[in-house]
Amino acid sequence: MTDDKNPYRTPISELGKFGLIKHLTENFEIFNESTLNIVGDDAAVLNPQNKKVLVSSDMFVENVHFNLAYVPLKHLGYKVVVAGISDIAAMNAVPAQVLMSVAVSNRFPVEALAEIYEGIRQACRYYRLDLVGGDTVSSQTGLVIGITSIGYANENEIVYRKGVKPNDLVVISGDLGGAYFGLQVLERENVTFKSNPDFQPDLASYNYLLEKQLKPEARTDVKSLLKDLDVHPTSMIDISQGLASEIISLSQAGGVGFSIYEDKIPMDNQVLTTAEEFGINPVTGVLNGGEDYELLFTIPLSEHDKIKHNPNFSIIGHVTENKNNLLITKGNAQSIPLTSQGWEAYLRKSN
């Protein structure tokens, strides 16, 4: 028997490994013709249909990449999928399949894992992805989630970082800084809660930032947007580690430099007001934050007119022949060398 105050929580041992996998994955749908065989055998069977196959993997570790004090499990499952397929989108490809592996300690009941997998299922449904495999293992230290993402593209569509060229324009999708400042709000409220558990925060004024942090979206639409504009990116990367880190990655890959204009970087008004509230320069948050999962890409100068008025994109700078990466402040007042503090997970404390 159970009641609302003391609901029964099913220990994982009650289902066993294979029973658990069946329980967590039995309601997933199939969306792609390239998926021939899914969860239930020793390996998935995929048919790339004469396209190139792109594969990426990511790991997410409790108290390093996420804090369950304020991250709902369903949101966590959704976000892990978004982070994984964002890498595929950053190659100008279409994600189609994911494999999920979970290491979990015995403090998590079956119902908690079911919440994570419900978030995964919702992400798969939204992005038309097929869950085709993975693994579950025990953990002595907490929760770890690994994702392998698989996508497809015609060979001539794939965009590599090394393709960047001098005089290219630097473009980003969407706006930046929301996820970083959403994290600052959550960390502050978590500290307040620890000192006063009865405190009920009013977070309504931070809705946009919290959504960017807890439930971001992958820009899988950019590929078709650029195709419709007849724009041909020369390089591309997703903004997961902060703008400065991604700029430096492209710079190193192409042997070029970047000039980025501070006043061209798009930021939502909530980013600006929250940055002021925390006493942080909003551009500092954009450069060294992360998890926006927008796409940063370069295009030939000749395609400027095709994209300059499109509301989905902002031109924020240009590529130079020298290897210096500079942030040019408002009014061209100062050129500051870009350095990458980055959102390096192993430096982030989240407890």
pLDDT per position as a tens digit, 286-343: 999 989 999 999 999 999 999 999 999 999 999 999 999 999 998 887 999 998 765 4
Q: How far is CA 340 from the centre of its chain?
A: 18
Q: How far from 88 is each of 10, 183, 187, 189, CA to CA, in Å?
A: 36, 25, 30, 34
Of residues 220 and 29, the one with the higher pLDDT is 220
pLDDT over threshold 70, residue 132: yes
Cβ atoms of 49 and 33 within 8 Å: the answer is: yes
Class of 12-157 per CATH? alpha beta
| Cβ atoms < 10 Å from Cβ of 4 | 5
pLDDT over threshold 70, residue 351: no
Fold match flag (12-157 vs 161-347): no
174 φ/ψ sector (left φ>0, alpha ψ -120 to 50, else beta): left
Tell me the per-residue pLDDT of 84-108, one tens digit each, with 9 for 90 and over. Answer: 999 999 999 999 999 999 999 989 9
pLDDT over threshold 70, residue 36: yes
The widest CA-to-CA distance across the chain, in whole angstroms, is: 71
> So what's the pLDDT on residue 310?
97
Record: fold of 161-347:
Phosphoribosyl-aminoimidazole Synthetase; Chain A, domain 2 (3.90.650)
Domain residue limits, the chain = 12-157, 161-347
The overall pTM is greater than 0.75: yes
